């Protein structure tokens, strides 16, 4: 007897029996707990999703901001082999990534689409920044920080951790690229009390020799002691002319001596007593203890729940410090402070060629 149902039974069962009997295919029984593809076809518990994802070599996403970069080889090995039905199944069972409208049309969630594009661009951006002339790179960092408005820390990092010659080169590059000076751009775009200090820092040309006058360093440490003790609520510390003068003109060795004398006088570290003024705190850390500052930024950025701007800090710090002695100090500080090597943390969080590129860069200082 023939009917529509029998036709489907014949196709689904009899054909498979014939293929099995002829030895064309072999069907192995796989227990559900061992079937790593279950998460693509059915709803599983969190434990099940974690287990199957690990079995496929996937990292479980805990948020839309999870991980840095893309594991390109894994994408190719999995997605490249999927046929139309498997891609349809993937869209149907990943409702957080794909959304279905009233017309039953499955489309990308715009936020996830943007996130994926940003992850694919991460390697490109790292390579572009790494191969730039350092002067152009720093000039573009200045410009990007100013255009985005709220990234004073990038201005501070760049101005305070470069040599006088490097900073002068970045200012020349800024002239060529943007046809005006970085100083006038800061003065025009920043209207807050930090403006005077930031202009002074980017235009600084510090003495870089070995000589330090400890008596003067101690006297200038007292300038900070008195300024913090007598801080006027009507005038912020960052506006104090003597503070701006010392931070923007003294050599880094002199500033480190001031930092040490402040600790001897007060029993506290200077940056700790500046908790109420983030700009001054960042300036002091970048000038006096850059490896500690950068280690702190890296550990904060190498998490699975950080925002996109924080992730960008990983590329910026590793790529811009690649050729400096600072990278070795940053790695030593990172391991001492957080109990794990920077390379191990990168392997844990970053993905694919982006991860491999950063690991190659930091290995140069081994």
Higher pLDDT among residues 121 and 17, named by residue: 121
Q: pLDDT value at position 303?
A: 85
Beta bridge partners of 98: 108
Higher pLDDT among residues 21 and 170, named by residue: 170
Average pLDDT on 269-275 reads 93
Cβ–Cβ under 8 Å, residues 359 and 347: yes
pLDDT tens digits, 218-241:
999 999 999 998 877 657 899 999
Q: pLDDT value at position 65?
A: 36
Q: pLDDT value at position 99?
A: 65
Q: pLDDT value at position 197?
A: 96
Cβ–Cβ under 8 Å, residues 174 and 143: yes
Q: pLDDT value at position 105?
A: 66
What is the Cα–Cα distance from 152 to 161, expressed in whole angstroms? Answer: 14
Average pLDDT on 64-84 reads 64
Average pLDDT on 263-269 reads 96
pLDDT level of residue 118 (50, 70, 90 thresholds):
confident
CB proximity list for 254: less than 8 A, separation 6 or greater: 207, 212, 213, 216, 217, 220
Average pLDDT on 18-40 reads 67
What does the DSSP 8-state code read for residue 275? T
What is the Cα–Cα distance from 250 to 267, expressed in whole angstroms? Answer: 23
pLDDT level of residue 306 (50, 70, 90 thresholds):
confident
In order, the DSSP letters of 199-216 are HHHHT-----SS---HHH
Average pLDDT on 281-297 reads 96
Place of tokens 């959304």: 99
Q: pLDDT value at position 19?
A: 67
Both tokens assigned to 52? 């199957």
pLDDT tens digits, 49-59:
666 666 655 55
Cβ–Cβ under 8 Å, residues 198 and 158: no
Report field, pTM of the whole predicted structure over 0.75: no
What does the DSSP 8-state code read for residue 12? I
pLDDT of 11 strictly over 80: no
What is the Cα–Cα distance from 287 to 153, expressed in whole angstroms? Answer: 13
CB proximity list for 220: less than 8 A, separation 6 or greater: 246, 250, 254, 258
CA distances for 16 relative to 6, 118, 237, angstroms: 15, 45, 80
- The least confident of 65-74, 219-228, 254-263, 315-324 is 65-74
Q: What is the dihedral of CA 216, 221, 224, 230, to 10 degrees?
A: -100
For each of the domains in the chain, give its residue range(s) and CATH number, in order of start: 133-205 (1.10.220.10), 206-276 (1.10.220.10), 289-365 (1.10.220.10)
In order, the DSSP letters of 56-120 are TTPPPPSSTT-SBS--HHHHHHHHTT--HHHHHHHHHH-TTTEEE-TT--EEE-HHHHHHHHHHH
| Listed ranges 84-93, 207-216, 316-325, 346-355; the one with the highest mean pLDDT | 207-216
Q: How far is CA 280 from the centre of its chain?
A: 23
pLDDT of 98 strictly over 80: no
Q: Using a pLDDT cut of 70, give the percent of the chain over it.
A: 72
pLDDT of 44 strictly over 90: no
Higher pLDDT among residues 167 and 353, named by residue: 167
Both tokens assigned to 261? 């004398």
| Listed ranges 139-153, 165-179, 318-332; the one with the highest mean pLDDT | 165-179
Both tokens assigned to 117? 């594009």
């Amino acid at each position: 007897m023939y009917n529509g149902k029998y036709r489907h039974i014949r196709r689904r069962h009899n054909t498979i029996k014939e293929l099995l009997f002829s030895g064309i295919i072999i069907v192995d029984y796989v227990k559900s707990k061992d079937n790593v593809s279950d998460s693509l076809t059915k709803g599983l518990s969190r434990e099940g999703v974690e287990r199957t994802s690990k079995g496929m070599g996937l990292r479980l996403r805990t948020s839309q901001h999870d991980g840095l970069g893309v594991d390109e080889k894994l994408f190719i090995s999995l997605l490249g082999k999927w046929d139309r039905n498997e891609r349809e199944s993937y869209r149907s069972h990943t409702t957080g990534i794909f959304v279905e409208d009233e017309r039953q049309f499955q489309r990308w969630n715009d936020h996830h689409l943007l996130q994926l594009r940003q992850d694919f661009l991460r390697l490109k951006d790292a390579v572009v920044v790494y191969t730039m002339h350092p002067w152009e790179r720093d000039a573009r960092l200045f410009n990007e920080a100013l255009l985005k408005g709220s990234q004073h820390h990038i201005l501070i990092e760049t101005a305070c951790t470069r040599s006088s010659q490097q900073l002068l080169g970045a200012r020349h590059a800024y002239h060529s690229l943007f046809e005006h000076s970085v100083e006038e751009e800061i003065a025009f775009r920043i209207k807050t009390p930090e403006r005077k200090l930031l202009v002074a820092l980017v235009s600084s040309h510090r003495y870089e020799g070995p000589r330090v006058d400890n008596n003067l360093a101690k006297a200038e440490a007292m300038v900070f002691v008195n300024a913090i003790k007598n801080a006027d609520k009507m005038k912020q510390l960052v506006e104090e002319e003597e503070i701006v003068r010392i931070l923007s003109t003294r050599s880094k060795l002199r500033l480190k001596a001031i930092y040490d004398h402040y600790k001897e006088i007060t029993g506290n570290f200077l940056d700790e007593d500046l908790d109420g003024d983030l700009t001054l705190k960042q300036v002091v850390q970048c000038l006096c203890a850059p490896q500690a500052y950068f280690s702190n930024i890296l550990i904060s950025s190498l998490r699975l729940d950080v925002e996109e701007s924080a992730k960008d800090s990983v590329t910026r710090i590793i790529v811009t410090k690649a050729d400096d002695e600072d990278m070795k100090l940053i790695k030593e500080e990172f391991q001492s402070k957080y109990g794990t090597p920077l390379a191990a943390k990168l392997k844990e969080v970053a993905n694919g060629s982006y991860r491999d590129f950063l690991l190659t860069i930091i290995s140069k200082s081994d």
